[in-house]
Structure 1
């Protein structure tokens, strides 16, 4: 039977690749962007999901990032990253979970980051929010253990997306490096030695969302070539 899949932030980058993978498998996919569903707005989230009815797979992918030393991180930037990356995942998960539990089946996967496990310079808001997102999945997993519902996260290193392109641009601006050298600096953050492709993250999400993955719960699957080993 075709599953109903929701991929937040699903209009581009990682989200679009995830949506395409589920669609190719024959699932019915809803991939809202911010204009369709502001994941930081409780009323908007409830209204959006009420129109869908059943949700079999939720992928919390909507995310933002900002980069600055802690001393120059504004309160607005801090709040914005926590709101999208952590609160957004909380609101969407809370909304779909009762139906999943009632049906005795469901998959929740949050797109987190290697920053869910370690701290990186100049990313206090992003790192804190991604730690929170991974922690949310662990807490939900503990609540749903044995119910047929699972909650997990994927934690990729830098992925070839518009968000990473913005990071490359900031490196170029601050260091004077060319684009290739700036991208190489990001790629060097993991043993993989290159940027991940969105399709690689989509594969990991699809794996955790598979019917056969019912024994995998409360896990954070790191995609970085072996740098972070849990």
Structure 2
């Protein structure tokens, strides 16, 4: 229970990776504010140490207001997990400006707005841990997903720059870059990939699995374990790092 008394915020915390991280944080004593677009989804998983709060990370006013409410109720956010994101592939010549802007607004602007709103509390407390959930697409680019890859490259750049800004403090900034994880996002992408590639659902799943070096989907709990390491005792010198979780070297 080494996180007792800490207030953590996890965007996209109602399902998948975000939920696994939120549950792990709560298990170690933190009070976790989980956010997402649908309050009913958050309410289904909220509990004694997890409070759901509907929030659209693309909306600056909503992010600022909701995080202020969370801080008023549970104290300054000391652990910020910017996890909310969308993952969808589309060839560049088929990418509309609307599609591009929504990808950036969710994956990159959303992280920027969330971290910015949480920073004052960390600065005042003199301690903070920021984790961004990026992707292997942010390291090497993902075929057929230029908008998604660009958003995740930007997220890694933001994380690294912040780590430089706060060197020498008790605040750290790190990015986790998973391969394909067994989450609802993968389930939704099976149909999309099958349609684009003209293959069966099983073949579409195999295409994703084969991108992971160990040839299996990653469990959300594996990502949560890495997150707990980054916020746990002895983590103060892990800063500005891009941690690949993809079953092998990328």
Q: After TM superposition, is the score higher than 0.5? A: yes
Partner residue of 1:28?
A: 31
- The CA RMSD over aligned residues, in Å, is 1.3
TM-score, reference length from structure 1: 0.95
Q: State the distance in 2 between where 1:147 and 1:177 align.
A: 51
1:158-188 C-alpha deviation (Å, 9 max, x unpaired): 1111111122112323445433332111111
Bigger Cα displacement from structure 2, 174-183 vs 16-25: 174-183
> Equivalences for 1:108-147 in 2 at 5 Å?
108-147=130-169
SS at match of 1:113: coil
TM-score, reference length from structure 2: 0.87
Q: State the distance in 1 between where 2:173 and 2:216 align.
A: 28
1:37 has 2:70 as partner = no
| CA shift for structure 1 position 227 | 2.6
Partner residue of 1:71?
A: 93
**Which sections of structure 2, spanning at least 5 residues, go unmatched?**
39-53
Question: Contact 1:190–1:227 at 8 Å: present in 2 too?
Answer: no
Q: State the distance in 2 between where 1:132 and 1:24 align.
A: 31
1:89-123 C-alpha deviation (Å, 9 max, x unpaired): 10111111122122210000000000111111211
Count of aligned residue pairs for this structure pair: 228
SS at match of 2:109: helix
1:7 has 2:10 as partner = yes
| CA shift for structure 1 position 153 | 0.7
**Which sections of structure 1, spanning at least 5 residues, go unmatched?**
none
